[in-house]
Chain A
Amino acid sequence: MKTDELIHLLAADTLPVKRHVAARRLAIGMLFALPVSMLLMLTVLGLNPALGRYATVPMFWVKFGVPCLMAVAALPLVARLGRPGADTRIAWTAWVLPVGFLWALGLLVLLQAPAGEAGALMLSRTWRVCAENIAVLSLPMFLAAIWALKSLAPVRPALAGAGAGALGGASGAAVYALHCPELAAPFIAIWYVLGMALPVAAGAVMGPRLLRW
């Protein structure tokens, strides 16, 4: 086919352009993915029975609120990653910044803790499963983000996959916080961040394969 013929053909496709594709897909994806992630947590892990008491514990709100904030920050990030030529540095910074807050808080608590308690504050009882559980709970939202990106044009597939992981990881951590019994800042700073980083890394690896167009 000659290029002029192709151009003629393309100009014959006069269906109006869909608008707000990214926002719509992310909204629909979230509508399906979050309940799935929630259900997974409720059935396999179970809601934390002490959740009612946590309402007055500031550290619970850090543990639950920071991932929520990061998930919200990841939405424009994913949308921008799907748009050729859009700058994503600010959006990435907005996603990473809360991690800095978690680390600062964790470090502060560690420095003030009596000697010999540092290990308990960092590892506690559930360190073995925390990051892994967050990674598993991140899957539904990760897939929803990939689905949204597939309707867009990610020109940096590895980065876009990482962005999908950023949205998935933050959502997974927020959901896991409703089960997790830990309230020590150093624990959150290590294992929650690791749990969110796992989907980011996995997304970066899988992105080029999943997001080709």
Chain B
Amino acid sequence: MYPAASMERNSSATDATHAQTEQTLRSLMLAGLDGDAASYRRFLQQLGTRLRSFYRRRLSAWPDDVEDLVQDTLLAVHNQRHTYRHDQPVTAWVHAIARYKTIDLLRARQGREARHDVLDDDDTALFDTTENNAAEARRDLWQLLATLPDRQRLPIEQVKLEGRSVADVASETGMSESAVKIGIHRGLKALAARIASTSRPRTKASS
């Protein structure tokens, strides 16, 4: 019913690897959807690694954007996880999202670079030795986070910053536990919306 994104006519060894990847990611995600936070975190970590190499291959012209896009996609995967159907391959679902995010970025790029060419003079790329590690993203989500209303920003900062539990944050901020949870949940949605509006293509204004 759903065409698996990884179903190419490769050698059977590659097929087997793909099948295994699918199986691992799928079981981690399903556990995560059932409320197992540890499995869910592992799912996102494995996904992050895969997305990083996926984007590195596809966006060799813009290595600086790779980590932004990885974060953007992870946030999208999380916020849109209700659109995943259990009978569907996880890889096909994520691949469709990653493809959308790539096209979205390329479109935004076209609009911006039509106006002024980006000439990156500092040759930091030469010293990049952390090929497989997570690079620091160029766009800082903290700054975007600062623009959120307090009831969303505070729980996120607290949970994030010191890795505290929801219960700890609730007692410290005087919010109820469910208010903290809702704050985090809505804050992440709002964060994705901010990202979408800051990277909006400006082709219309320029040409």
A residues near B (Cβ < 8 Å) are: 1-19, 21-22, 82-87, 152-153, 155-156, 212-213
Contact = CB atoms under 8 A, between A and B. Distances in A.
Given A84-B80, A85-B88, A153-B97, A12 B184 contact: yes
A11 B42 CA distance: 9
B70 interface: yes
Contacts of A12: 37, 159-160, 166, 184
Given A9-B159, A12-B159, A213-B192, A1 B78 contact: no
B83 A152 contact: yes
B185 A10 contact: no
A10 B33 CA distance: 12
A66 to B, nearest CB: 27
Contacts of A16: 35
Contacts of B1: 87
Contacts of B166: 12, 14
Given A11-B44, A13-B181, 12 more contacts: A2-B136, A3-B67, A3-B70, A6-B71, A10-B44, A11-B41, A12-B159, A14-B35, A17-B81, A84-B94, A87-B1, A153-B76
Nearest to B181: A15
A82 B84 CA distance: 10
Report the contact-size class of chain B (Cβ under 8 Å from the partner): 35 or more
Chain B, interface SS category: helix
Contacts of A86: 2, 85, 88
B74 A3 contact: yes
B134 interface: yes
Contacts of B38: 11
B171 interface: no
B190 interface: no
A155 B82 CA distance: 15
B71 A3 contact: yes
Contacts of A22: 83
